Amino acid sequence: MAEDNSRPIKRLKLNDNAEWYASAILTDEYSKEIPRVTVYLSELDNKRQISNVMYQLSKMLPLEQMNLQHLKRVRQLDIILCKVGDLKDQNITQYLESVGLGNEVVDILCKNIREYDVPALPPMLRWQYELAQTCWPCKFHPDKYMESLHNGSIFNEKERKFHSNIMHLLLTIKNCMENDKPCGICIDPRTKSVVALASSRASISPVMHCPMMLVDFVARTQDGGAWREEVSDEFANDDEELYNDVKVNPIISGIPKRYLDFIRTDERFKDIRIGAELPRAKLKCDDIEQNATLNVDNLEKYGPYLCTGYDLYLSQEPCLMCAMGLVHSRARRVYFEKRSYNGALVTRFKLHAIKELNHHYEVFQCKKQGEDSNHVIYS
Ligand SMILES: [Zn+2]
């Protein structure tokens, strides 16, 4: 069979209709079972005793004081007294007396006591609630948004299709143009447009990992970019080269020339939009008004600042340096395909779970039905 030399980029044998789905990497309070804590339970003789002992218990030993306010106090004839760990050198009778319960109530409560494990923290998601309920009755305030992240319903069909298209483009570039090096794409989710596209340049400098390159290329669309000299060969003409057929936004300076040419000429990616928003100062007044209606972070107020409001798609989980770089650059969401041995979003730890950081992005792993997504890559 004659080889087709007209197209220098070899075809990737990928199923074009392959469906990707994005699975949220939630912080441990949402993704793990609720830990248990041991309490003393008292089993009463009959229900008539409940109101009497409850009155004194809720006054002298309120659940709030033990950080157990997410629990109901009573289950049938069982009643929670206190955490086992709250007793120092006392026995339970001495302890109940010491908090001020009347002798008669202490006698009733101490008749039949046993230790029992209850959920130590409030359930955050319905699955945790249902599991906790099998152990002890809990209070639960459902959070619709977090539930949708957990069960995947956050994305509609159109958005899932978009993830698939971007993942397809990302892997095609990685496999066919970059010899399997880590690659990444930055998307403006408001316009569904490619802002920047980069691959690892760790061969030039050990800090030029793919996500760092991607942030640098995003900065180029805002008249920045720290590595202009190092990557000058990737951008044939550093002045803005305008294409007549750019579908959305005129700023294409975040996309190296050969990727740009590839996206614009390959039939499979003809629907993919390219270009970033103009820096705010260059926008006309009506453009600003139009953009202001889209409520994304504080983007409409200040214009893009690095990755503010942007989503990043990476072929692999970022390392700690890069994950932190994405915090500093204010990414909105990070999607990655493969786990990395030194990954900082799920494999080693979850950087986005650190509450003390001043910015948090949402993290998703892009998976394909039936494929092993826990496999870790060492590069
Ligand atoms: Zn890195």
Distance 304 CA to ligand 1 centre (A): 23
Of 161, 182, 164, 163, the C-alpha closest to 173 is 182
**What pLDDT does residue 298 have?**
55
Nearest to 277 by CA among 260, 256, 292: 292
Q: Cα(204)–Cα(138) distance, rounded to whole angstroms?
A: 56
Q: Which CATH class is domain 35-120?
A: alpha beta
Give distance in angstroms: CA of 256 to centre of ligand 1: 20
The pLDDT tens digits for 300-337 are 666 667 899 999 999 999 999 999 999 999 999 999 99
Ligand 1 centroid distance, CA of 321 (Å): 5
Question: What sign does the CA torsion over 366, 357, 33, 141 have?
Answer: negative
CA of 325 to the centre of ligand 1 (A): 9
CA 152 to ligand 1 center in whole angstroms = 27
> Tell me, what amino acid is at 264?
R
Confidence of residue 5 (pLDDT cuts 50, 70, 90): very low
23 to 26, 117, 300, 342: CA distances (angstroms): 9, 32, 28, 20
Give pTM, 2 decimals: 0.82
For residues 150 and 133, what is the distance between their CA atoms, to the nearest angstrom? 19
pLDDT of residue 25: 96
Mind listing the pLDDT tens digit for each residue in 89-126? 889 999 999 999 999 999 999 999 999 999 999 999 99
Going by their DSSP bridges, the two strands 78-83 and 193-199 should be labelled as unpaired
Q: How far apart are CA 283 and CA 278, in angstroms?
A: 7
Cβ 94 vs Cβ 134: under 8 Å: no
- Say if residue 2's pLDDT is above 60: no
Q: Give Dmax (Cα) for the chain.
A: 97
- Kindly give the distance from the C-alpha atom of residue 337 to the centroid of ligand 1, in angstroms, as a whole number: 15
Of 64, 59, 96, nearest in space to 81 by CA: 96
Between 1-15, 145-159, 165-179, the lowest mean confidence (pLDDT) is in 1-15
User: Model confidence over 40-92: pLDDT tens digits?
Assistant: 999 999 888 898 899 999 999 999 999 999 999 999 999 999 999 999 888 99
Sorted by where each begins, the domain ranges of the chain are: 20-27+151-377, 35-120
> Distance from the CA of 203 to the center of ligand 1, in angstroms?
13
Q: What pLDDT, in 10s, does the model give residues 217-230?
A: 999 888 888 998 88
Distance 322 CA to ligand 1 centre (A): 4
Residue 195 contacts residue 311 (beta carbons within 8 Å)? no
98 and 90 Cβ atoms separated by less than 8 Å: yes
CB neighbourhood size of 132 (10 A): 23
Distance (angstroms) between ligand 1 centre and the Cα of 131 equals 38
Cα 181 to averaged position of ligand 1 atoms, centre (Å): 12
Give residue 270's pLDDT.
84
Domain 20-27+151-377 and domain 35-120, same fold? Reply is: no
Domain 20-27+151-377 falls in which CATH fold?
Cytidine Deaminase; domain 2 (3.40.140)
